[in-house]
């Protein structure tokens, strides 16, 4: 069955809240922040939909957020795309939103395309910016053609407009609003899945993950030899942070994909990032540009990283790093 919503009667921004074992995925609050910013511009209400076991616990977490209504669908099933699709589409059919925002997570990537096909409409994956144009369309911005351009994509004629956004790309908002949120309990009890869950294995939490570190020291192709990375790893350790790199060094085999920041690597938002010999390509910046304090060291005064760096330092990393280490040790 394909359904298509009428453009002129579709209104509202719906945020899919990802929820697993009583924990809400942080990307949900980031999407809520972005939905609010967009709703200020388009003058539309913000809605939430969540599906899972014991889903009503979300009620408390939503207090203070600018949400008109929240739709909850209780199910014992862990994420199964066909069952969850039924819940989200039931909600969409009721509220007829113009836009649906979903996290660019494994779950979101399985769910969003199914919904876009169901509604015969457009989906832009891994948006790095969102806006509303003069015709009320959602402008979905993301790197395209290998990152050589930032494409602005609009779904002109069909609704809803589906977009996924990765974690740490958008900023959450503080729950300081006094909205009287309406809670609606939906029903997907009769939804049948054609999938059979054979086993569930939980991911190991990776203590070395660069995504949770408050401080990141990042190496780029400006580093001349693999052994020189040792001084940057040492600096990261002395600062109580972690070491990361651009893809250039992963491609050389000097660092691992787990350490890579960017479009095809990790999206990060530490409190402080110091980059050494990173030029600041679109693909690299797609994974870190919301970082609130960026210190960039580069010998080229025209390096693009300086456009977003809060503390640009035009210098040779081989002069700076040993001095920093010496001072920190002292």
By the criterion CB under 6 A, which residues form the site for ligand FAD? 146-147, 220-222, 246-248, 260-265, 277-279, 281, 283-284, 287, 297-300, 303, 316-318
C-beta separation of 69 from 183 below 8 A: yes
| Least distance from ligand FAD to the Cβ atom of residue 241, Å | 18
Q: Given the complex with ligand FAD, which of 199 and 302 has the nearer CB atom?
A: 302
Cα distance between residue 55 and residue 70, in whole Å: 11
Q: Given the complex with ligand FAD, which of 133 and 251 has the nearer CB atom?
A: 251
| Least distance from ligand FAD to the Cβ atom of residue 220, Å | 3
Q: Given the complex with ligand FAD, which of 215 and 313 has the nearer CB atom?
A: 313
Q: Given the complex with ligand FAD, which of 118 and 313 has the nearer CB atom?
A: 313
Q: Which residue is nearest to ligand FAD (CB)?
A: 262
Cα distance between residue 194 and residue 113, in whole Å: 17
DSSP bridge pairs for 15: 48, 101
| Least distance from ligand FAD to the Cβ atom of residue 92, Å | 32
| Least distance from ligand FAD to the Cβ atom of residue 20, Å | 26
Query: Got the DSSP string for 116-164?
Result: HHHTT--EE-S-SEEEE-TTS-EEEEEEETTTTEEEEE---SSBPEEEE
Q: Given the complex with ligand FAD, which of 66 and 262 has the nearer CB atom?
A: 262
| Least distance from ligand FAD to the Cβ atom of residue 166, Å | 12
For 115, the token pair is: 């919904």
Peptide bond into 119 cis (omega under 30): no
Q: Given the complex with ligand FAD, which of 156 and 319 has the nearer CB atom?
A: 319
Q: Given the complex with ligand FAD, which of 86 and 247 has the nearer CB atom?
A: 247
Region class of 188: left (phi > 0), else alpha (psi between -120 and 50), else beta: alpha
DSSP 278: -
User: 38: which residues sit within 8 A by CB, 6+ positions away?
Assistant: 13, 44, 99, 130, 131, 132, 138
| Least distance from ligand FAD to the Cβ atom of residue 174, Å | 30
| Least distance from ligand FAD to the Cβ atom of residue 264, Å | 4
Q: Quick one: how far is CA 72 from the chain centroid?
A: 23
């Amino acid at each position: 069955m394909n359904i298509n919503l009428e453009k002129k009667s579709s209104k509202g921004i719906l945020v899919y809240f990802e929820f697993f074992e009583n924990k809400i995925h942080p990307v949900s609050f980031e999407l809520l922040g972005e939905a609010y910013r967009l709703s200020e511009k388009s003058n539309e209400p913000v809605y939430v939909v969540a599906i899972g076991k014991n889903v009503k616990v979300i009620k408390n977490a939503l207090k203070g957020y600018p949400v008109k209504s929240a739709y909850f669908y209780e199910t014992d099933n862990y994420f199964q795309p066909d069952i969850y699709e039924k819940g989200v589409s039931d909600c969409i059919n009721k509220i007829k939103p113009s836009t649906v925002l979903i996290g660019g997570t494994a779950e979101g990537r399985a769910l969003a395309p199914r919904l876009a096909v169901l509604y015969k409409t457009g989906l832009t994956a891994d948006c790095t910016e969102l806006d509303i144009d003069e015709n009320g369309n959602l402008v979905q911005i993301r790197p395209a053609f290998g990152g050589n351009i930032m494409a602005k994509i609009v779904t002109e004629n069909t609704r809803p407009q589906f977009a996924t956004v990765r974690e740490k790309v958008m900023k959450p908002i503080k729950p300081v609003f006094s909205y009287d949120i309406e809670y609606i309990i939906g029903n997907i009890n009769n939804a049948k899945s054609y999938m059979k869950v054979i086993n569930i294995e939980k991911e190991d939490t990776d203590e070395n993950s660069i995504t949770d570190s408050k401080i990141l020291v990042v190496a780029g192709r400006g580093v001349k030899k693999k052994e020189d990375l040792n001084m940057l790893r040492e600096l990261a350790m002395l600062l109580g942070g972690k070491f990361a790199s651009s893809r250039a060094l992963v491609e050389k085999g000097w660092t691992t994909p787990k350490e890579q920041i960017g479009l095809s690597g990790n999206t990060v938002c530490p409190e402080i990032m110091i980059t050494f010999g990173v030029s600041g390509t679109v693909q690299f910046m797609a994974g870190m540009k919301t970082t609130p304090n960026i210190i960039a060291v580069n010998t080229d005064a025209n390096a693009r990283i300086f456009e977003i760096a809060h503390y640009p330092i035009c210098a040779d990393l081989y002069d700076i790093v040993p001095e920093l280490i010496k001072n920190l040790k002292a």
